Amino acid sequence: MAMKFDFDNVVEYSLNEEESEEDIVAEYMEDAKVDEEYAERCLLGTEAIEEPISLVQKVADFISISPCCTKNCCVSWNESDLANHTEDMKHLSKNEKKLVLLTVLRNSVTHTKSTRYSAQRQRLSLSFRYEPFGIMCPAAFRLLFDIRIKELKGLLAHLKISSMSIIPPQHGNRRRQTHRHNNLTDRGVSEKLIEFVLALSESQGEFSPGRHTKLGNTKEDKNPDMLWLPACFTQSSILRMYDKQHPEFSISRTAFCLLLKNEQRLQHIKIRSSCTDMCDFCELQKRKIAGTKSHDEVKAEKLTAELLSHQKSYQGERALYNSEREQSKLHNSELRKRKRTIDECIEHISMDYGQSIAVPHTTDQLGGTFYLHMRNFLLFGIFSVLENTQLCYIYDEREAAKGANEVISFLHDFLSNRQIQTPYIRIHADNCRGHNKNKYVMWYLVWLVSTGRLKRAEIKFMIKGHTHFIVDSGIGHTKRELRRSDVFCLDHWAEVINISAKTNKAKIVNSNDVYDWKKGLSHYYEAFAGISKFQHFVVDSSEPGWIWARYGVDDDIWKKRRLLISDSNLYIEEFRCLPKFLSTVGFKGGKFEKEKELFENLRQYVKDEWRDELCPDPETFIPPVREKHLCPDWA
């Protein structure tokens, strides 16, 4: 009988091991096999064939974006030489191209040496050279031969383990049929491996946070049961863990990777990409479970039950979010085909604050700005499914804060100016009490329905730690565009947002666009006690002034609360036309200490035309006086 596998110890041990050259070559051969399969599908017509981009065009595009290195090797290349090289590469088969690459790489080796550590390892020192293009950097070499960095690493690893042989690596089953998969099944290897991977994922994995994060893919993950392994995992590390647990049921790397790819029971298990937000509760709970003593089974069972309950909650909320978005997409399609009227459509809105950006922002950050407290620009995003747009409200931190007044003002402006004025809306937001989940937002929704502006309003809050949704996708596009853009003012930031994605639209706001809804609503409503415990809220025109709340998607009992102090308020002119009587919050301004530090230390890094805007002298700065205007509204 096999011993119980201690995943925590073996994971740490396996991840600390370095990948060998054999692993790198095997991974390279696996990628090559995938490319061959794709080419075969294209020939059979099962895959659409994309029009290839010429190498000359690729080089031109590469040079226009950024230099390959400090010497900019690609600029000196002759266009006619590049065209001749492109023609030569076209007439080479994949195997012939590998042969050429290995020959060039071997001739590029200037000398070899071994490390001084106990595990002797050959190290290659390369000087890439290929006539008539001369000496070049690694990036230019990969561009010239149109190869990925993984392919280059695989070929270099092959040179090391094959004593500098230029014979390309080949799959062991090449040109002959194999029944290895059946042998694996007969020997019980397949079931052992599947059992191992399922147990590993149960111990170390986390269910979907709501988006597909593999390899930078921003497409939303529709499957709430997707299980993500930590980003530190690789296929090689999983194989090393398996070999240590089941040495008698060995499997080759290629067969292992194919089994992971094709086995239906493992299709929901993926490896997360790096720099992904994690849920604190999930991670800390796993650590507590791993840290329990072997004899303390009661405590371990209790912690495991709490984790399973948490997982069930956020999976249910994610499934509800996806289903409601799909319903609004369907209504949008039927509306365009005139199968449904505007009054029959349900709008779905997602809203959230994005991470503020520090300005001045430049593509090449100056070292002196790294340690300074800079000016911040804030962003609040609202995505509409019916209109398929994300409106990004951007403003200076001096103009306004991040609170209920700002959220309600931006939401009201969005609802007032939307093109499809449907009376039914659903809102999804995160659990932040300071921004979204507070009595003022609930009062505002009750006011919208009580005054007839909407017939029904629903707001639902995602489980903390699992709040990724469509707004984060739009904000992610802006961050990607921001990497290659300079931002010194709000107009620059708005331009970055507008070109980042077709669905993104920026709107610059100031303190005169933020209204004191908290003060205006507080005269007519009473507090909502225990609001943090609930996840779903509904307001309906059948009973104005009331709100229904429940704890979550699994709760079937709705609790009814009356927030409107008196029904007589429904007939008061000031209540029905509240936006006309609201005052603006006014220019907030910055703290004197920070403004002085910006003026003394940051001003030198800002271009002259924006210095007085970003880093004014706090001693002589005069707050802007703007003409006040009424809050937007709709009948």
Residue type, 575: F
- Total residues belonging to the chain: 635
**CB of 610 closer than 8 Å to CB of 360:** yes
More confident residue, 422 or 19: 422
The pLDDT value given to residue 179 = 41
User: How far is residue 139's CA from residue 95's CA, in Å, rounded to a whole number?
Assistant: 22
588 compared with 36, residue with greater pLDDT: 588
Give DSSP secondary structure letters for 301-354. HHHHHHHHHHHHHHHHHHHHHHHHHHHHHHHHHHHHTTSS-GGG-EEEEEEEEP
Map residue 633 onto helix, strand or coil. coil
**Confidence category of residue 574, pLDDT binned at 50, 70, 90:** very high
Give the model confidence (pLDDT) of 275-303 as tens digits.
556 678 887 888 888 788 777 888 888 98
Instruction: Tell me the two tokens of residue 116.
Output: 């001084």
How confident is residue 176, by pLDDT bands cut at 50, 70 and 90? very low
Angle between helix axes 235-245 and 253-262 (nearest 10 degrees) is 110
Q: What average pLDDT does the chain have?
A: 82
Query: Which residues neighbour 136 within 8 Å (Cβ) at sequence distance 6 or greater?
Result: 68, 73, 74, 128, 129, 130, 144
Residue 582 has pLDDT above 90, yes or no: yes
pLDDT digits (tens, 9 = 90+) for 369-389: 878 888 999 999 999 999 999
Residues 6+ apart with CB under 8 A from 24: 153, 154, 157
pLDDT surpassing 70 at residue 208: no
Q: What is the pLDDT of residue 424?
A: 96
Nearest by Cα to 62 from 151, 142, 154, 150: 142
Higher pLDDT, 493 or 150: 493
Q: Of 24-33, 291-300, 479-488, 578-587, where does mean pLDDT reach its minimum?
A: 24-33
**Which range is least confidently modeled, 272-276, 418-422, 617-621, 626-630?**
272-276
Please say whether the beta carbons of 623 and 589 come within 8 A. Answer: yes
> Do residues 478 and 497 make contact, with C-beta atoms less than 8 angstroms apart?
yes
pLDDT at 180: 43
Question: How many angstroms separate the Cα of 387 from the Cα of each of 331, 353, 383?
Answer: 11, 20, 9
Which residue in the block uniquely carries the two structure tokens 């089994």? 259
263: its two tokens: 């086995």
DSSP collapsed to 3 states, 43-81: HHCCCCCCCCCCHHHHHHHHHHHCCCCCCCHHHHCCHHH
What's the CA gap between 404 and 515, in Å, rounded? 10
Higher pLDDT, 157 or 552: 552
Residue-level pLDDT at 342: 94
The residue-averaged pLDDT of 148-170 equals 77
Provide the CB-side half-sphere exposure for 448 (13 A, CA). 29
Determine the angle formed by the axes of helices 21-44 and 149-161, rounding to 10 degrees: 130
Question: Given a cut of 90, is residue 344 above it in pLDDT?
Answer: yes
pLDDT in tens, 514-561: 999 999 999 999 998 889 899 999 999 999 999 999 999 989 999 999
Confidence of residue 187 (pLDDT cuts 50, 70, 90): low
Query: Residue 622: helix, strand or coil by DSSP?
Result: coil
pLDDT digit string, tens, across residues 101-131? 888 888 877 655 555 444 455 566 777 888 8
Residue 308, number of CB atoms within 10 A of its CB: 11
Answer yes or no: is pLDDT of 504 > 90.
yes
The pLDDT assigned to 584 comes to 93
Highest mean pLDDT out of 191-200, 206-215, 297-306, 423-432 = 423-432
